[in-house]
Amino acid sequence: MNKSIIRQILDLENQSAPELRQLYSSIMPKPASPSANKEYLKPRIAYRLQELAFGGLEEESKNRLLEIAQGAPISSLNRQTDLMPGTKLCREWQGVMHEVMILKDCFEYQGQKFKSLSSIAKKITGTKWNGPKFFKLRSK
């Protein structure tokens, strides 16, 4: 019987570096480097196990990530509708970490629902802000 993905990922913590290198080499297109350590291998193996079980990124997402990696501006993410429900935005302001959850048609901050990131930024800072800029979703 196959172990659940969660169990497999949790079990990575107890495996030695050689065991992790062997597992990595069995599930990845290229074998692990003989010098690869546990901290390098664990997140990559965990991601790959999930990818094999649930499927990988859609081609559109892969292409966008490649564009960003090659220097394309992230600022094209300027419409709030580009944020997927379930995404969490985190921003530290004056030594306090603020977390906003993206919902289907609004935002949740400290248990309250807001229609815009700007209204949340104003609540946090006490002054008017462009919400996407405050949460560093765009530079302008």
pLDDT tens digits, one per residue of 124-136: 999 999 998 999 8
User: Looking at the 3D structure of the chain, how many domains does it have?
Assistant: 2
**Contact of 89 with 126, CB cutoff 8 Å:** no
Residues 124 and 82 in one domain: yes
Q: Are residues 81 and 50 in the same domain?
A: no
Per-residue model confidence as pLDDT tens digits over 59-79: 988 888 888 888 877 655 444
Q: Does any domain span residue 139? A: no
Q: Which is higher by pLDDT, 2 or 1?
A: 2
Give residue 105's pLDDT.
86
11 lies in some domain: yes
pLDDT interval class at 84 (50, 70, 90): confident
For residues 72-90, give the mean pLDDT.
Answer: 70
Q: Are 125 and 112 in contact (CB under 8 A)?
A: no
pTM of the model: 0.49
The pair of three-digit structure tokens given for residue 62, joined into one six-digit string: 């892969």
Summary mean pLDDT of the chain: 89
pLDDT value, residue 50: 94
User: What pLDDT sits at residue 139?
Assistant: 62
Rounded to an integer, the average pLDDT of 90-108 is: 93
Residue 115 lies in domain: 76-134
In a domain, 70, yes or no: no
36 close to 24: Cβ distance less than 8 angstroms: yes
Look at residue 81 in the predicted model and tell me its pLDDT. Answer: 47
- Please report whether residue 12 resides in a domain: yes
Residue type, 103: L
> For residue 66, is it within any domain?
no
